[in-house]
Chain A
Amino acid sequence: MMPPLGPPLDRVDGRKKVTGGAKFAAEHNLENMAYAAMVMSTIPSGTIRSIDTAAAKRSTGVIAVISHLNAPRLGPAPGQPPAAGQPGAAAPPQQQGNFAEPQLIPFSDNKVHYVGQRIAVVVADTIEHAARGAELVKVTYDETPARLDMQQFREQGVDRAKSLFTKGDADAAFASASVKIDQIYRTPHEHHNPMEAHSIVAAWDGDHLTLYDSSQNIFAVQQTMSRLFGIPKENVHILSQFVGGAFGSKGSTWPHVVIGVLAARMVNRPVKVFLTRKQLFFGNGHRPETQQRVALGANPEGKLLAMIHEGMSQSNDVCTYAERFVRPTKAIYAVDNMRAINPIVSLNLPSPTYMRAPGESPGMFAIESAMDELAYALKMDPLQLRLVNHADVNPEDGKPWSSKSLKECYAQGADKFGWSKRNPEPRSMKSGRDLIGWGMASATYPAHRSPASARAVVKSDGTVTIYTGTHEMGMGTATVMSQLAAETLGIPVERVRFEYGDTTLPPTPISAGSMTAASVGSAVFGACDALKKRVAEIDGVDPATINAESYHTILSKHYLDDVEARFDAKPPQQEPHATQAFGAHFVEVAIDQDIPVVRVQRMVSAFAGGRILNAKTARSQYFGGIIQGIGMALLEETHFDKRLGTFTNVNFAEYMVPTNADVRSIDIIMVPEEDHDVNPIGVKGIGEIGIVGVAPAIANAVFHATGKRVRDLPITIEKLM
C-alpha cells in the first residue's frame, strides 16, 4: 500500500502546460469552422415581441441567425416528459443527462426568464463577423413584472432540497440556554470565473456528433445531447482533455452547448462557441446569495445546547438548484437540539449552480462566525469552544466516522501558528500602524463517491495504459491516477500512460464534489489489481511475486501482445460509517488603523483528508481553495441591480479575485490519516475543503483586530470605516 502521504511527483501533463501544448476545447480549430455569437435578453421577465434579423443577415460573413422563430423544437429536457408533438418519454434518472435549465430548452418559445438568457445566436465565418452580427440583432419585448428582490419574497421560500433537519427541541433548548448568540449572516452572489470561458467546438457527421466541450461531466453531456437531439447516445462523442478551471460551473450542460450544437447542425458546418467574460456572468451558474440566521445556545462551560440554522437563498423557476447551506450544520458539532433548513426563493435571476464547496462554504461562514461570537460571549478561547463541542460521532445520524482527525488538525495548526500567544482582547495586538487580528475556524466537507470504471492494459514491453473517461481541470487527476496505477502494479510511473477526457472510454462521474480521486481512483486501483492478478495467473505464480519486470517477462514467455483488465467500482449500498474530511484554519490579518484595508498576512491550515496521493498537487489544491476563500472573504461579490434586474460588475476588472499581491504566507499541514473504511484507496477528496472556513476565520480575525463584527461578505473597506 502507498504511504499516507504520496510522493510529490511533478505533474505528468506539466510539460504540455508550460509549452502551450495543452489543447483546450476551443483550440480544436476544424476545417470550414464557423463562429457563433450569443444574443442575450435585456429584460428580466416577459416575452419577446419581435426579433429583427435583417441587418444582421446582411452583415458581412453572417451565415445564419437562429432563434425561437426558426429553430426546431428539441427533444424533452432531461427528466421532463415530452411536450405535445415531441418524441420520447421521460427517461430514467441515469439517462437524464445534466441540462442546467430543464424548464428552458433554448429557443423553444418566446419567454424571457432573466436578463442574459440566450435568445438568439448569430453564426458567421469569423469571430468579428459573428460579434458584429449579434450587435445588429434588434429585439423588442413585452415586459411583465419581475421578481428581483429576495427580501420582498422571503415569505415564499420553498424547501426545494428537502433540507429540513430536526433533532430534539431546538427552540425550547435555545430559549432556556444561559448564553446565546442569535444573528443574521449574509453571503453575496459570487461567480466561479474560471480562467477559460465555457466553450465548445461542435461538428456533425450525418447523425453523429463530435463535441469538444470544456466540461467537467462529459458522460452527462453525452446523455443530454442524445435526448435533446434525438440520437442514440453512441452517436455522441464528447471530448474534454484539458479544462481551464471549472469550480462547479462546468458541471451542467448550459444553454450555449445546446445552441452551438444546434447551430452546427443547421448551418451544416463545425461551429465554435467561446463565451465572452461578460456572458459568463449570465446563464453559466453562480453561487447564489444567502441570508442565514444562526442561533446558538450554550451552557456557561461552552457546551452547545441548541443550534438553529435557517434562512434563504436565491434560485429560479427554470433550474432545480438549491444552495444547501445547512449541510455542514448537521456534521460539525455535537448538539442535542438542532433545527436546520435552507429554503429557496425563486426569482427572475440567472440560474445559480454549485460553486466550490456549495453549501459548506456559505454555511460554515455563518456557523463559524457565530461560534466566534459565542466564544466572546462565554469569554472562552474560540479553539477551546470547538474542542468542547467536538462531534465524536456524526451528529446527523449517530454513525461512527470512518476516520476523523480534527483534533490533530486543531493541535498541529494552533502549534505552528502560535495560537497560544493570542491575547483574546480585540484591538490588543498591533504592529506599527496596523491592527493585528488572529482568528480561526473549522473546515469540513463530505467524502463522496460515485460509480466509476477503468480499464488497464499492459503491453509486452511492460508499459501500461489506463483508460477512464474522467476529466482534468487542474486537480492533478492524470498525475495521481498514474501514480496510483504504478504503485498498484509495482512499476515505475514513467511506464504508465493515462488516457481520459473522452466518452468512448469507461464511464466516470462528474468531476466535482471532491470525489474524483475516490471514485476514479477506486476504479483504477481495481483495474490494476485485477490486471496484476491476471498476469500472475497466466504464468501460474503468486501475484505477490509480480514485480516491474514480470509483465514483460510473462507476456513474452506466453507470446502475448497485451493483457487487460476492467473494473467497475461502486460504493457500497449501505455505508456503516459517516465519511467526512476535516480541517482548521488559523489566520493573521493586518489592518491599517486609518485606511482599513484587510491584508491576510499569514495563514496556517491543517487538513486531514484521508490518504494524500501526491503531496505536491494536494498542496496546490489546498492553496487554491484557501485563496478562493480569501477572495470570498475580502473581494468577491457580483452586484445585482434590483431595478434593472441584472448583474452589473460583469468583468474581471470589477469582479475582483485574488491576485498574486493579495497572497502572502500560507502554511499547509497535511495531517496523516489512514482510513480503511472510506473506500478501497483510503482517500477522502480535498478539492473543496480548502475554501471551507477561510472566510469566517478571516472575519473572526478582523473582529479580533478591530472589534467590528462583519456579518456580510465580502469584508470591504467601507464596512470597517
Chain B
Amino acid sequence: MIGSAAATAGLLVAPLLGEEARKNAAATQQADPNAIPVALDVNGKVHQLELDPRTTLLDALREHLDITGPKKGCDQGACGACTVLIDGRRVLSCLNLAAMNSGKKIVTVEGLAGDGRLQAIQAAFIRNDGFQCGYCTSGQICSAVALIREGRAHSDAEIREWMSGNVCRCGCYLGIVEAVKEASNATV
C-alpha cells in the first residue's frame, strides 16, 4: 500500500464534537422514559426486561436478549422467518409485541435441541438438505414442529400447503417437504 492514495490520505472522518457528542454519551445512560417492564420466558428461562412498548417480540429476542435464532425476513408477517412457538402454537414474532407475551412460554429454534441432541425434525432438515443459506431455517423448523403436532403432515400436498407461510428464497422446498415427512413418520 506504500504510496497508494489511501495510505497517504489519512482518515477523512472525525467523530462529532460539541453538543451532539454530549447527547451521544448521554443517550447511552438515560433510561427510556417510556419503557415498561416485560418478563419473557424463553426456552425455559425468564428474562426481566425494560422495553419500549413498541418493541416487537422478534426485536426483543434478537436485540435485547441476543437470541438470534428467530430471523427478521420482512418484519411484516409475510415470510415466516421469525416463526417461534408460543405456548406450543407457531406464531410470527414480528407481528407480536413483546409486551403481549409476558408470562407465556416462548420456544425458539435454540430451545429445540435438548442436551445438545437434535430433534428428529432438525436432523431431517440436515439429511434432506432442507436449506441452503439457512436464514429461513429457524422459522421453517419451528413451523414444522407445530405442523406435525397439528396433524397436518399426512401428505406432500398437505405439507406444502401448511408450510407455505415460510418462504425460502434459496428454493429448498423439496428438501423441506421430505424432512417434514420423515420427522412426522418418526414422531408418530
Quick check: is A627 within 8 A (CB to CB) of the other chain?
yes
Give chain A's interface secondary structure class. Answer: loop
User: Which residues of chain B are within 8 angstroms of A620 by Cβ–Cβ distance?
Assistant: 129, 132, 170, 172, 175
> Shortest Cβ distance from B110 into chain A, in angstroms?
4
User: Which residues of chain B are within 8 angstroms of A664 by Cβ–Cβ distance?
Assistant: 160
Q: How far is the CA of A32 from the CA of B136 in the complex (A)?
A: 28
- Please state if A660 and B160 are interface contacts (CB–CB under 8 Å): yes
Quick check: is A417 within 8 A (CB to CB) of the other chain?
no
- Please state if A10 and B127 are interface contacts (CB–CB under 8 Å): yes
- Please state if A652 and B79 are interface contacts (CB–CB under 8 Å): yes
Q: How far is the CA of A274 from the CA of B68 in the complex (A)?
A: 14
Q: Given the interface contacts A17-B134, A22-B134, A129-B52, does A193 sit within 8 Å of B171 by beta carbon? A: no
User: Which residues of chain B are within 8 angstroms of A277 by Cβ–Cβ distance?
Assistant: 73-76
Quick check: is A104 within 8 A (CB to CB) of the other chain?
no
- Please state if A266 and B16 are interface contacts (CB–CB under 8 Å): yes
Partner of B131, one of A89, A207, A474: A474
- Please state if B8 and A197 are interface contacts (CB–CB under 8 Å): no
- Please state if B4 and A91 are interface contacts (CB–CB under 8 Å): yes
User: Which residues of chain A are within 8 angstroms of B175 by Cβ–Cβ distance?
Assistant: 620, 623
- Please state if A193 and B169 are interface contacts (CB–CB under 8 Å): yes
Quick check: is B122 within 8 A (CB to CB) of the other chain?
yes
Q: How far is the CA of A63 from the CA of B174 in the complex (A)?
A: 47
User: Which residues of chain B are within 8 angstroms of A64 by Cβ–Cβ distance?
Assistant: 16, 20, 23-24
- Please state if A19 and B11 are interface contacts (CB–CB under 8 Å): no
> Shortest Cβ distance from A360 into chain B, in angstroms?
18
- Please state if A195 and B169 are interface contacts (CB–CB under 8 Å): yes
Quick check: is A619 within 8 A (CB to CB) of the other chain?
yes
User: Which residues of chain B are within 8 angstroms of A651 by Cβ–Cβ distance?
Assistant: 74, 76, 78
Looking at B34, B55, B74, B78, which has the most chain A CB atoms within 10 Å of its CB? B74
Which residue of B has the minimal Cβ distance to A194? B169
0 or 1 for each of B145-173: is its CB under 8 Å from A? (1 = yes): 00000000000000111011111111111
> Shortest Cβ distance from B100 into chain A, in angstroms?
16
0 or 1 for each of A592-633: is its CB under 8 Å from B? (1 = yes): 000000000000000000000000110111011111100000
- Please state if A11 and B1 are interface contacts (CB–CB under 8 Å): no
Quick check: is B15 within 8 A (CB to CB) of the other chain?
yes
Q: How far is the CA of A20 from the CA of B118 in the complex (A)?
A: 12
Quick check: is A640 within 8 A (CB to CB) of the other chain?
no
> Shortest Cβ distance from B182 into chain A, in angstroms?
14
Partner of A660, one of B23, B67, B163: B163
Q: How far is the CA of A276 from the CA of B74 in the complex (A)?
A: 7
- Please state if B132 and A207 are interface contacts (CB–CB under 8 Å): no
- Please state if A88 and B63 are interface contacts (CB–CB under 8 Å): no
- Please state if A75 and B122 are interface contacts (CB–CB under 8 Å): no
> Shortest Cβ distance from B41 into chain A, in angstroms?
17
**Complex interface residues of chain B between 14 and 69 (CB less than 8 A to chain A):** 14-16, 20-21, 23-24, 27-28, 32-34, 52, 54-55, 59, 62-63, 66-69
Quick check: is B85 within 8 A (CB to CB) of the other chain?
no
User: Which residues of chain A are within 8 angstroms of B14 by Cβ–Cβ distance?
Assistant: 72, 265-266
Partner of B169, one of A82, A657, A660, A661: A657
- Please state if B5 and A126 are interface contacts (CB–CB under 8 Å): no
Which residue of A has the minimal Cβ distance to B124? A18
Partner of B34, one of A60, A82, A475, A666: A60
0 or 1 for each of A108-133: is its CB under 8 Å from B? (1 = yes): 00000000000000001111110000
- Please state if A14 and B126 are interface contacts (CB–CB under 8 Å): yes
- Please state if A18 and B13 are interface contacts (CB–CB under 8 Å): no
Q: How far is the CA of A71 from the CA of B170 in the complex (A)?
A: 38
Interface range, B side: 35 or more
0 or 1 for each of B68-100: is its CB under 8 Å from A? (1 = yes): 111111111011010000000000000000000
- Please state if A61 and B27 are interface contacts (CB–CB under 8 Å): yes
Quick check: is B138 within 8 A (CB to CB) of the other chain?
yes
Looking at A17, A63, A659, which has the most chain B CB atoms within 10 Å of its CB? A17
- Please state if B76 and A653 are interface contacts (CB–CB under 8 Å): yes
Q: How far is the CA of A456 from the CA of B165 in the complex (A)?
A: 43
Q: How far is the CA of A127 from the CA of B54 in the complex (A)?
A: 10
Quick check: is A476 within 8 A (CB to CB) of the other chain?
yes
Q: How far is the CA of A95 from the CA of B4 in the complex (A)?
A: 9
User: Which residues of chain A are within 8 angstroms of B136 by Cβ–Cβ distance?
Assistant: 195
User: Which residues of chain B are within 8 angstroms of A617 by Cβ–Cβ distance?
Assistant: 129, 132
User: Which residues of chain B are within 8 angstroms of A657 by Cβ–Cβ distance?
Assistant: 167, 169
Quick check: is A407 within 8 A (CB to CB) of the other chain?
no
Quick check: is B12 within 8 A (CB to CB) of the other chain?
yes
Q: How far is the CA of A269 from the CA of B15 in the complex (A)?
A: 9
Which residue of B has the minimal Cβ distance to A261? B13
Which residue of B has the minimal Cβ distance to A20? B69
Quick check: is B184 within 8 A (CB to CB) of the other chain?
no
> Shortest Cβ distance from A470 into chain B, in angstroms?
15
- Please state if A268 and B15 are interface contacts (CB–CB under 8 Å): yes
- Please state if B23 and A197 are interface contacts (CB–CB under 8 Å): no
Partner of A18, one of B28, B34, B67, B141: B141
Partner of B118, one of A13, A19, A232, A619: A19
User: Which residues of chain A are within 8 angstroms of B170 by Cβ–Cβ distance?
Assistant: 195, 245, 474, 620, 624
Partner of A29, one of B63, B74, B125, B168: B63
Q: Given the interface contacts A29-B63, A663-B160, does A196 sit within 8 Å of B113 by beta carbon? A: no
Q: How far is the CA of A475 from the CA of B171 in the complex (A)?
A: 12
User: Which residues of chain B are within 8 angstroms of A626 by Cβ–Cβ distance?
Assistant: 171
Quick check: is A231 within 8 A (CB to CB) of the other chain?
yes
Q: How far is the CA of A20 from the CA of B93 in the complex (A)?
A: 15
- Please state if B6 and A75 are interface contacts (CB–CB under 8 Å): yes
Looking at B5, B75, B167, which has the most chain A CB atoms within 10 Å of its CB? B5
Q: Given the interface contacts A72-B12, A660-B163, does A666 sit within 8 Å of B63 by beta carbon? A: no
Q: How far is the CA of A366 from the CA of B166 in the complex (A)?
A: 32
> Of A175-183, A222-230, A296-304, which stretch is located at the interface?
A222-230
User: Which residues of chain B are within 8 angstroms of A165 by Cβ–Cβ distance?
Assistant: none
Which residue of B has the minimal Cβ distance to A690? B171
Complex A-B, nearest 3 residue pairs according to Cβ-Cβ distance, in ascending order:
A20-B69, A244-B135, A474-B132
**Chain B residues with a Cβ under 8 A of chain A:** 1, 4-16, 20-21, 23-24, 27-28, 32-34, 52, 54-55, 59, 62-63, 66-76, 78-79, 81, 108-110, 112-113, 118, 122-123, 125-127, 129, 131-138, 141, 159-161, 163-177
**Chain A residues with a Cβ under 8 A of chain B:** 10-11, 13-24, 26-27, 29, 32, 60-64, 72-76, 82, 87-89, 91, 95, 124-129, 193-197, 207, 226-234, 242-245, 247, 262, 265-269, 274, 276-277, 473-476, 616-617, 619-621, 623-628, 651-653, 657-661, 663-664, 666
Can you pick out 24 interface pairs between chain A and chain B where the beta carbons lie within 8 Å of each other? A10-B129, A15-B118, A18-B131, A26-B72, A74-B13, A75-B5, A75-B6, A95-B4, A127-B63, A129-B52, A195-B71, A195-B133, A195-B167, A195-B168, A230-B6, A231-B10, A233-B6, A245-B135, A245-B169, A265-B11, A268-B24, A274-B72, A624-B170, A659-B165
9 further A-B contacts with Cβ under 8 Å, apart from A20-B67, A126-B52, A233-B1, are A17-B137, A18-B137, A19-B122, A21-B69, A127-B59, A195-B71, A233-B6, A623-B171, A660-B168
